[in-house]
Structure 1
Amino acid sequence: MIRTEVLVVGGGNAGFTAAHAASARGRAVVLLEKAEEHAAGGNSYYTAGATRIAHNGFADIADIVDPDERHPVTVVPPYPAEHYAADLAKVTDGRNDPDLTKVLVEESQETLRWLNKRGLRYRLMYERQAYERPDGSYLFWGGLHVGNTGGGEGLIADHTRVAAEEGVVVRYGHAVEDLIVTGGAVVGVRYRTTGGCVGEVRAESTILAAGGFESSAEMRKKHLGPGWENAKVRGTPCNTGTLLEAALAIGARAGGDWSTCHSVAWDALADHNESNRALTNRLTRQSYPLGIVVNNRGERFLDEGADFRNYTYAKYGREILEQPDSIAYQIFDATLRPMLRAEEYDMPGISVFEATTIEGLAEKMGVDATTFGRTVSEFNASIDRTTTLDPTMKDGRAARVKPPKSNWASPIETGPFYAYPVTCGITFTFGGLGSDTHGRVLSERGDPIPGLFVCGEMLGGLFSGNYPGGSGLAAGSVFGRRAGTIA
């Protein structure tokens, strides 16, 4: 048996942040990670590291981002806390918990500063959230500006290094299977190692940071609905919902929306397109606002330009899953192709069809050429060409077809033409455990369960149906720190 003061279950961003916070108070901390060390890091490893924080413009955050020669010609608009809160309410249709939201938006920057002082590194995300303007300057857009240096890999490397410096004991290959309860309080966990050994860790406080249930096809089908068992798992295969079920079994309250999740457009045909630690986030296809998206009937089915991609990408995976055969194609022409994200559309082994004509492209896609040609022609003819294309803002350059394209409509008319096959990639589930704003897990009666805390993707209540890009890592940091501060 292992004894400690604070036990953290899960070695992603939230779990490590909780460990740092507990260690900073002089607490003895043990962190159990289900994966072996070579496969560790949870979903955080697979991210681009994007972290949404409130700030007052570039001058407010310049001291916490790595130097870059582009900084003098860069514009980073302010993103105040009230805008952050409004974005959360907008994309979730008001289903976000207001108390959790208030904490997140008000503590997001300060928490990042705290992590930066502990040794985590950040940068401006030029390749994902800015466009170079004709005068050579860079304009950031969409409220999301900062990310970890080195992406998710750099994030986990920094967390792991800092934890070692703090004396946090990290044990890999320890899958926690159950919670130990004595007198109504959680006093530890039972685990099984990858070698088959079983054991216990006893602790004064247990912080659950073991993710959602997106890696369990059975739980996806049960809670998200039929068809979700076919979604591709973007991140860790370890998030199977075991600890969620264990907490519910001892009387914890379910929190948030268990029927929806974060899901994106994901390379449909690439080899090894699940839990790919070499390519991680590069299998996403997020330049769709510039082109059009059609299903395998050759028809459009969503508004590609409804908003900046970081307000729509986390829900459009669901829209693709609902299409025939759960596949779609992002369509661009030669004029648009240079504007696509290089990290995603120039990656090795990418799935793409290319042809000099629309008819030839349809043939390679296996789509009816007549329907596809009509879709493209009607789209091209409906574009308001009196408005100039500007990808740095919602430019109102619309295509008035059904469904409409509200912004960034450009004709698909100059060969060669490109089609990128995409399916639904699931990132994490929005349902979790109910807690107060400090991460204390609540019982079904609404009382805190002594000794039990939650953070990261196991914390329910912030997101429903959709989420603003970068708010997941921010929430993991904020509520991980809060849980570790009182554990």
Structure 2
Amino acid sequence: MAPPTYDLIVVGSGFAGCMTTLNFLETCKKLNKRGHVAMLEVGKKGERCGASRWTGAFLRMDKDLRFDEDWIKEMMRVSNGQADAEYCQKLAMEAHETAEYVRDHGVNLIRHKEDNVFLEFKTNQHFVFPDGGGHAIVNALLKHIEQYPNCDIHWETEARHLLTNTKGAITGVQVRKSDGLLYDLYAPDVMLACGGFEGNREMLAKYVGPKTHELPLIAPGLKYNKGAGLNMALEVGADTAGSFDGIHSELVDTRATKPDAVIWGHNYGILLNENCERFYDEGNRPLFATFEMAAFYLWRDHNNKGYFVTDSTIMDRFRPGWVYESTDQEPVKADSIRDLALKLGADPEKLEKIVREFNAACDKNMPFDLMKLDGKATKGLKPNKTNWANPIDKPPYYAFPVAANLTFTYGGVKINLDSQVLGTNGVPIPGLYAAGELTGLYINEYPPATSVLRSLTFGRLAGRAIAEKLQHPALRSATSIGKSLL
């Protein structure tokens, strides 16, 4: 029996993979072409593994689904000018259509006006998220994909190697299925959309460095992100982009029984290590500009064990609300700092001392204003808190035990604006595409609420472009499919 032959193979069923697959199918239908596509997923049917299933999928957009026009400036700032400006500009230009696309395919997009948190986004204090999070997006897209008879979804199928002809053009993918055996699937175009390498301890140690094996994953599906796409692309000569030693991590409630239990509001109190010592300026920039680095430093320098402590001034304002309620646990609560420490399992004398010193260092004459960088700072502390340094003196007192969890890796393959994977000589590898987290972009820090948008956007554009090639056989990447294979 001849091995299966497709027009396109998509590796991964997350945001980028589903968008590539569905836009390919829809474009083929418009062109009256029966493009045959295979989508490969290492997880089981219904499991929805990887990162897309678990994220809240915040989108850096205003109520009219317009993208934050200042995001490119932020990318340039945190990367010291090294970010791919053309890629960023294309995302900014295409993001609105992407949001409309997922909305038109059955995803309810909630426009959230934030009245308590000062956002650095230039979106008039708005951001957008899907009702049901990332799970709602991938389920909606998959529902449409399953209506097409010209799409085969291969569950429990691990992509292992890219197949090429003697001249290096892509001709398919070698896979390992649930029976443990290897099979070849053929296609002149392959989209790699299978995430980063946060689930691969060997690669984390190689690229990110020591102690990465001690960094928990923020969601169970990330265990499947083993860097398969990156390794396959490197085998055929792909170039790389992004910070390979960079990771995105977030502070989570260590007691939580659910994934992605992020404690967002580290700005509005004090953040301590396990010895009840402050180690980070909690107010140096707005919440979304600092939550990543607060988590990173706790993991890298402080044994990844800590506490967030605040009082009723904050909790009465923010609860109920998203800032402290991503966890499924109530905050630790006590009428005194000493009792709070005892409930946390922290040293009571140390916690009382650090809160007393923090309160004494706060500028009592500056007004406390959470809706701007208010300049209400401490004096004489190391480190000082530069904004929102309000005394913790209104009982009851509250705390969360926190640790950093790994969300995604930065390093990946280098692509052009058409999502074609570039070789080390800067030329596209014929027939090879990549989108989503697998493509390197972020350097030093992650300006947030953009990873979902970029995965959706470049998957959408690539799926359409690959389908349009069916009208022009001369543009097809590989010839003699099935011959001269590696």
**1:298: which partner in 2?**
276
- 2:231 matched to 1:245? yes
Deviation of 1:197 after TM superposition, in Å, equals 4.3
Further displaced range: 336-345 or 100-109:
336-345
Do 2:193 and 2:229's aligned partners in 1 also have CA atoms closer than 8 Å? no
SS in 2 for 1:213: coil
Change (3 A) 1:293 1:341: farther
Deviation of 1:8 after TM superposition, in Å, equals 0.8
Identity percentage of aligned residues: 28
- 2:292 matched to 1:314? yes
Distance 1:30 1:119 in 2: 23
Do 1:120 and 1:158's aligned partners in 2 also have CA atoms closer than 8 Å? yes
1:432 to 409, 412, 418: 412
Query: How many equivalent pairs are there?
Result: 449
1:104 to 74, 86, 91: 91
SS in 2 for 1:326: coil
Change (3 A) 1:308 1:194: farther
Q: Deviations over 1:156-181 (max 9, x none)?
A: 21111122235543222111111111
Change (3 A) 1:412 1:472: same
Deviation of 1:346 after TM superposition, in Å, equals 4.7
Further displaced range: 448-457 or 21-30:
21-30
Q: Which amino acid aligns with 2:154?
A: R
**2:25: which partner in 1?**
23
**2:474: which partner in 1?**
none
Change (3 A) 1:121 1:187: farther
Distance 2:276 2:329 in 1: 21
Distance 2:378 2:152 in 1: 56
- 2:82 matched to 1:95? yes
TM-score for the superposition, normalised by structure 1: 0.86
Distance 1:79 1:192 in 2: 40
Q: Which amino acid aligns with 1:152?
A: G
Distance 1:217 1:289 in 2: 31
1:38 to 36, 46, 60: 46
Deviation of 1:352 after TM superposition, in Å, equals 4.7
1:194 to 166, 169, 178: 178
1:125 to 103, 112, 128: 112
Do 2:11 and 2:17's aligned partners in 1 also have CA atoms closer than 8 Å? yes
**What runs of 5+ residues in structure 1 fail to find an aligned partner?**
62-77, 134-138, 272-278
**2:135: which partner in 1?**
153
Q: Which amino acid aligns with 1:174?
A: T
**1:71: which partner in 2?**
none
Q: Deviations over 1:132-168 (max 9, x none)?
A: 69xxxxx976346111121122112111112223554
Do 2:311 and 2:397's aligned partners in 1 also have CA atoms closer than 8 Å? yes
SS in 1 for 2:333: strand
Distance 1:406 1:367 in 2: 26
TM-score for the superposition, normalised by structure 2: 0.86
- 2:156 matched to 1:173? yes
Distance 2:305 2:274 in 1: 7
Distance 1:316 1:172 in 2: 38
- 2:273 matched to 1:287? no
Distance 1:88 1:385 in 2: 35
Do 2:67 and 2:95's aligned partners in 1 also have CA atoms closer than 8 Å? no
Q: Which amino acid aligns with 1:201?
A: L
Deviation of 1:362 after TM superposition, in Å, equals 2.6
Q: Deviations over 1:391-411 (max 9, x none)?
A: 333333323332122222221
**1:257: which partner in 2?**
243
Distance 1:299 1:177 in 2: 46
**1:49: which partner in 2?**
57
Change (3 A) 1:79 1:344: closer
